[in-house]
A and B are shown apart, each in its own frame.
Chain A
């Protein structure tokens, strides 16, 4: 259905290829998952399949891409619209009309289909994707999961043979992501659509995939094959595969269900050595007075319903608190209120007993600092160095301090780079460095994991747990259960503007199927959350390592910061 014949892509002005000599034939009806670290060419590969590269992006494409028998050299994307459907990362950016039905019909209008056919297909698509009850709503009113399903539907009404999706679930909460993926799964089974999908959070998708295409980096050959085989050698793997590798399972399981059947032996091994470890590594309940605390915080948008309804939340020095909940549950608003940038209508937010909104923005920066959801909002200068210098003067610290901090976070970053050219992970680190420059006692992060690959997320985990060890209080919002399980000491779940759960991480994620990380699902009823924990326990059980590790295992954060030998 899609065939790449010796395809190489080089963008204008680049000195090396973004894709090198890709040979690939994708049979019809296959669900193919594209994996690889940031910058490995995933987006370029997907773009080449839709004709977006090079017709829209520019650059030089050598070789030939055939989609449904059409050559992308002679067919720009608009002439491929009836063969390929494209879905992007942010559905709102791609919407042309403003109501659900019109959006679904747009591509069919372009294809000049008969009105009767259009009506029928719109109805079919509404049912297929479960959108029938929102058909009359304006697109802006939909939840992000619904928006993403509309975007898929809008591509689907053209009855394309191929659907290309670039990280379609990256902005979604776990529940909404499930909905979208289940809808895709149905398409592959019922309609025989060929799906090419890229995703960073493999744990969400890999069980649906028929094959995996692994990119390692520009210049390296791509690997294509059944998920188990390809992931065994891939740089990026979901926790289930990492656990399988650790336990030496063969064939390597890619779904939680497969893994669970192989798990009993591992659980037994873990339980033999675990009790001692578990006791000592159980999360300590927060002690002492809270550093930052919110009491009965109410907040509403102008004329809108209340977003926060009497939230009580404490953040203690030296802990990492994760705030989870559906899209639109009020997480970002809560962070803004905690930072003091938003004055709550009712209730108070206090730092060490003093209200935070009385303080000027400049002074507050040294007490509570917030990394917003779009880190780019904070950046406006031309080079990384200039941004750092600006941060020095803003925080009134010695010149060069921010840059030194940044170098500790990510060594080897070129200071002359334009911040807009950085990868998501690097940009996040830059903003974190800027926001830490004032030496705040509390740092808040809004959705810091969006668009990060596993390696970048691991670095973020190390960075945040390291900060917490030095006595800074860290609070973050996230949809990423694996990241939260590895990073947070405590989880608060927000729903409809109220805190419905506030407890140690293990307790929260183990009690809910939506929030349970893969390792916990596989090793249930055990209480291990991450591959690292399992690895640490196994080392303890291993007589060669036990003597050395026994000293360090008293402190859970030490166990977590063991460099991961798996990568």
Chain B
């Protein structure tokens, strides 16, 4: 849980700047903390994939700009052959001048998106999304479980695609294009569907979605409240993250959204007929990790609000991006969990001990239980 707050803080910070140096710093922080604190689970091996995916995003953004981009700026790097489009496609052009200014802004933009991705990757790596479920309010549990199960189908899909591709070789098929696609997609989809049905049956047999003694009316009201709460959360998130929303709209939206979600979740959770097996404790260390994440977000937002050009270095005219004290302090704080907290232990081991034992153990290891 704490790691998710931390990573989202990092992501919020990234969304508030286009300074490539700061963005690189953010990625470095994420990578450093992941390298230092990653648990040894299957989920944790995917971080590199997120990094590569980030690079791909930057590359795509740049290529798009070169091919389709608008050509403002004066420093022309290359002239590409331009295809003249009819009048009605005003604003879109293919080819033409590629300017250093345009290119820089495209790369900055791509980097921002890539950094956001890497932050999410860090969160997934540090804290298995399945464990996040344990910290979700009860009312969100069932919806959350569906999402998590859907996400974890992906590795199974890849595995069965690899198997089917190998099997195709056994038949010696040399089909290409649509036929090849079909010969892989059909068995893979068939198997995925079969697995999904089996899983649904297993969940059903094990009491998922039990209504117990609740009446239909009670279930409906809590569902409605939950929906309202979720909408509120979305609004609040939007107000928080979108720099373009004026403060007069964002602040009330935030307040109303948070209020609606809190009411919805509290009432909804009270009506849930579920219990929790060994929920994750939110201890001091977890709180510190979360605070580190919030701190970096706050410092970046402050920097931006103060109008310091460090947040959005000018690309027209193109200048070398600068660094400033405030964001640097922020990144340093965000990197702290990489040194101060203990490695994230594999699931289920950290919640074994009670708080008294916990103390004893933390004294012994001088580290305590991981912050999550």
Interface: A263 (CB within 8 A): no
| B207 contacts A107, C-beta separation under 8 Å | yes
- B203 touches which of A90, A96, A111, A135 (Cβ 8 Å): A96
- Is A531 an interface position by the 8 A CB rule? no
Report if A56-B274 is in contact (Cβ < 8 Å); known contacts: A107-B207, A110-B210, A138-B41. Answer: no
Q: Are A115 and B273 in contact (CB under 8 A)?
A: no
Residue among A85, A102, A364 facing the most chain B CB atoms (10 A cut-off): A102
A380 within 8 A of B: yes
* Cβ contacts under 8 Å, A7 to chain B: none
- Interchain CA distance A110-B207 in the complex, whole Å: 5
Task: Give min CB distance, B300 to chain A, whole Å.
Answer: 34
- Give chain B residues whose Cβ lies under 8 Å from the Cβ of A395: 172
Please report which residues of chain A, range 46-82, place their CB below 8 angstroms from some CB of chain B when the two chains form the complex.
50, 52, 55-56, 76-82
A and B contact pairs by CB, cutoff 8 A, 20 listed: A78-B206, A78-B209, A81-B210, A86-B205, A93-B195, A93-B198, A93-B199, A93-B202, A94-B201, A99-B346, A109-B277, A118-B277, A122-B277, A155-B205, A155-B206, A336-B166, A361-B172, A372-B163, A372-B167, A394-B173
List 8 A-B pairs, minimum CB-CB distance, nearest first. Answer: A110-B207, A94-B202, A81-B207, A105-B277, A377-B167, A362-B172, A365-B172, A380-B186
B275 in contact (CB, < 8 A): yes
Interface residue A547 (Cβ < 8 Å from any Cβ of B)? no
Question: What secondary structure prevails in chain B residues at the interface with A?
Answer: helix
A379 on the interface (CB 8 Å rule)? yes
A interface footprint on B248-286 (CB within 8 Å = 1, 0 otherwise)? 000000000000000000000000011111100000000
Contact A115 B275 (CB under 8 A): yes
Number of contact residues on B: which range applies?
35 or more
- Residues of B near A88 (CB, < 8 A) are 198, 201-202
CA distance A339 to B169 in the complex (A): 11
Contact of B172 among A52, A101, A105, A364 (CB under 8 A): A364
Other 20 A-B pairs with CB < 8 A, given A52-B205, A376-B190? A78-B208, A96-B145, A98-B128, A99-B348, A102-B277, A102-B348, A106-B206, A110-B206, A110-B210, A111-B207, A112-B274, A138-B346, A140-B42, A154-B206, A361-B172, A372-B163, A377-B163, A379-B187, A380-B182, A394-B173
Q: How far is the CA of A109 from the CA of B203 in the complex (A)?
A: 12
- From 146 to 173 in chain A, residues with beta carbon under 8 angstroms from any chain B beta carbon are 154-155, 158
Whether A244 sits at the interface, judged by CB under 8 Å, is: no
Whole-angstrom distance between the Cβ of B161 and the nearest chain A Cβ: 10
Q: Tell yes or no: A114 within 8 A of B by CB.
A: yes
- Are A391 and B171 touching (Cβ within 8 A)? yes
A-B contact count (CB 8 A): 175
Residues of B within 8 A of A (CB): 41-42, 128, 130, 145, 149, 152, 163-164, 166-174, 182-184, 186-187, 190-191, 195, 198-212, 273-278, 346-349
Which residues of chain A come closer than 8 Å to B164, judged between CB atoms?
A: 377
Inter-chain CA distance A30–B108, complex, in Å, is 70
A369 touches B (CB below 8 Å): yes
CA–CA, A4 to B224, complex, Å? 41
In angstroms, Cα B276 to Cα A113, docked, is: 8
Q: Which residue from A82, A97, A140, A370 sits with its C-beta under 8 Å from B207?
A: A82
Contact B182 A98 (CB under 8 A): no
Those of A102-128 within 8 Å (CB) of chain B: 102, 105-115, 118-119, 122
Residues of A within 8 A of B210 (CB): 78-79, 81, 110-111
Q: How far is the CA of A102 from the CA of B275 in the complex (A)?
A: 13
Rounded to whole angstroms, the CA-CA distance of A530 and B190 in the bound complex is: 38
- Most A Cβ at <10 Å: residue of B173, B273, B349: B173
List residues of chain B with CB within 8 A of the CB of A341: 166, 169-170
A84 to B182 Cα, complex, angstroms: 41
For B149, list chain A residues within 8 Å (CB): 96
Residues of A18-69 contacting chain B, CB below 8 A: 50, 52, 55-56
Question: Is A385's beta carbon under 8 Å from chain B?
Answer: no
Closest to B40 in A: A138
With contact pairs A56-B201, A112-B274 given, residues A380 and B172 touching in the complex (Cβ less than 8 Å): no
| B349 proximity list for chain A (CB < 8 A) | 136
Per the bound structure, the CA–CA distance linking A112 and B271 in Å amounts to 12
Chain B residues lying within 8 Å of A380, measured Cβ to Cβ, are: 182-184, 186-187
Within 8 Å of chain B (Cβ to Cβ): is A284?
no
Q: Does chain B have a CB within 8 A of A435?
A: yes
Report the bound CA distance from A372 to B275 in whole Å. 43
